[in-house]
Structure 1
Amino acid sequence: MNVSQVILPAVVAGIIGSAAMAETQFSLSYFVGPKHRFNEAFFTPLGDNLEELSSGALTVKQYGGGTLNSNPALQYSTVVEGVADLAFGISSYTYDLFPISSAVSVPGVCNSGVDCTEALWRAQDLIEDEFNAKLIAMWSNEPMAIVSKDRPITSLEDFQGLKIRVSSNIEADFLSALGASPVSQSVSEINQNLANGTIDAIAIDPTSVRDFKLFEPANYVTLGMPTSGLAFWILMNNDTYDE
């Protein structure tokens, strides 16, 4: 999947058409680090493409690693309140605000990152109504893996009492039904917490094993969980877009 598959072309065209006469620099807030794969896949290409298509009039300045707001759950307020022109976030971190886009996380709704992304796009009109900001891009990751330190998970019984970090209420309900004890933690803390035993395992998409160096504290990765993905997005402040 590349940036052209997740960014809304009509929105980008609107930005370029309305602002090409004046030089404009957009601020982009995201809580993951600059070396995260999303920077290479989405954030940097978004800025590069806007600059190229606008003949240099539009540029994007990145504020990564939580520079403007380190709380993943507050990225939406960062863009709505105008702290940043653009912000990256995850719907399930504030499930109550975004129940429609978060529904892509329900087990069985979709079975791969591409499949889940296409499901989000089919619901674009409904999802746009959830946000008090302009939807620039949306996509999904792969279904979860279970990354564990001391206990290999080879049967349903292995979930009993396992303290697992989850990304959403939907994941928490699913793993609770399997007998686990789900907990919510910031993604920036999961490596250390798995290492020191605060948690026993992490429910996360497989590529994040590399992103957050989970291969350091973990000894086991369980694949094939019958789950779906998470809804990711980039939003633009309404006032910024209107200007």
Structure 2
Amino acid sequence: MKRLSLTAAAMAAAFASAPAAAQTVLTLSSWVPPTHALTLAQKEWCDLVAKNSAGKIKCNQLPRGVAAPPGTIDAIKNGLADVSFTVHGYTPGRFVLTQMAEFPFLGDSAEPLSVAFNRVASKHPEFAKEHAGVHVLTYFTHGPGMVLNTKKPVTKLEDLQGLKWRVGGGMVNEISKTLGMNVTLKPAPESYELLSGGVMDGTLFPAESVDSFKLDKLIKYATTFPGGLYNTSFVFMMNEDKYKKLSPEEKKAVDDASGEVAARIFGRGWDKVDNKALENMKANGVQFTKADAKFIADVKSHTSKLEEKWAKEAEARGLKDAAKVLAEFRAEIAKAAK
């Protein structure tokens, strides 16, 4: 009896000292503040992956980004972190196909735009080819882009042409130049310094960014357009080698949280903070202008050829019948918005 007790005690001690089951850790990098909608959406995705994997995968959110915004995709490609997101336009010339999601007047909220963007981009492998070296988790967009400035109301095309503007790159840069604007390409986190120092007079942003980048005391005037003056395409991505090393069960946990599910997480989060920022801007006395029919018509007449130019460049990158793909995208936006 005594021998059995000793044996049982030895076995219990052995189990107690055995190592815990191995856990896969994903390191996350974010170049926006911890409270930003993008950082929070990334965490929501991580929580879902952890749930899907029954705790076998967990995330470690790094205290700061491993690279400046334009270098993020290469940082993920090279394994400096496992998961992050970036703006396609921050690396001019590198991405063409994703500019599909950046044209004027596409939609009034981020969730249907993001869902439609991911649906269409995922159907055409040429989009993934532009992201060689990383595993795409989802494509998404922010909410409708608006005109924000510190100087005067912008009510007509000529008002855009007398000020200095910060833009993020990509199609918004092409739109701005076509409209005769004086623009400088700078990442979003530099906006406060540029505007507060008077280096720039205004910026093109969704409403959310006024709060996120602490521009609430700087912005005095805002002009909105139905469907947005522009949009910005993003990719949410994972290091390719990290993804390949996941077990089949772990891959399923990641896949089930990605694609359209992740597009909705990012889009829904952005819509929430856009709405809150609009309320805060009104409370802070920002003067709003809704673009009238002539202003909208002037923008359309100046930017109409950009779609044709994009289609030619996209087809040169291997996308067949790009104009048809763009029409498919618009149809998916309408479907997702219902």
Interval containing the TM-score (normalised by the shorter chain): 0.7 to 0.9
Q: What does residue range 57-76 of structure 1 map to in structure 2 within 5 Å? A: 57-66=56-65, 68-69=66-67, 71-76=68-73
**DSSP 3-state at the match of 2:243:** helix
CA contact (8 A) 1:111 1:227 kept: no
- Residue number in structure 2 paired with 1:23: 23
CA contact (8 A) 2:166 2:203 kept: yes
The number of equivalent residue pairs is: 219
TM-score (norm. length: structure 2): 0.61
- Residue number in structure 1 paired with 2:107: 111
In percent, how many aligned pairs have the same letter?
Answer: 24
Shift in Å at residue 150 of structure 1? Answer: 1.5
CA contact (8 A) 1:32 1:64 kept: no
In 2: Cα distance, 1:145 partner to 1:228 partner: 8
Q: What does residue range 54-93 of structure 1 map to in structure 2 within 5 Å? A: 54-66=53-65, 68-69=66-67, 71-93=68-90
CA contact (8 A) 2:75 2:81 kept: yes
Which structure is higher in helix share?
Answer: 2
Q: Any idea what the Cα deviations from partners look like across 1:42-69, whole Å, max 9, x if unmatched?
A: 1111111111121211011112542x11
TM-score (norm. length: structure 1): 0.83
CA contact (8 A) 1:101 1:120 kept: no
Structure 2's unaligned 5+ residue stretches are 1-20, 246-338
In 2: Cα distance, 1:79 partner to 1:86 partner: 7
Shift in Å at residue 81 of structure 1? Answer: 0.5
Which structure is higher in strand share?
Answer: 1
In 1: Cα distance, 2:63 partner to 2:172 partner: 27
In 2: Cα distance, 1:164 partner to 1:232 partner: 21
**DSSP 3-state at the match of 1:171:** helix
Shift in Å at residue 36 of structure 1? Answer: 0.5
Shift in Å at residue 83 of structure 1? Answer: 0.8
In 2: Cα distance, 1:192 partner to 1:168 partner: 18
Task: Look at both structures and tell me which one has the larger radius of gyration over its CA atoms.
Answer: 2
CA contact (8 A) 2:146 2:229 kept: no
Structure 1's unaligned 5+ residue stretches are 1-20
CA contact (8 A) 1:145 1:205 kept: yes
In 1: Cα distance, 2:95 partner to 2:176 partner: 21
Shift in Å at residue 220 of structure 1? Answer: 1.1
- Cα 1:218/1:196, change in 2 over 3 Å: same
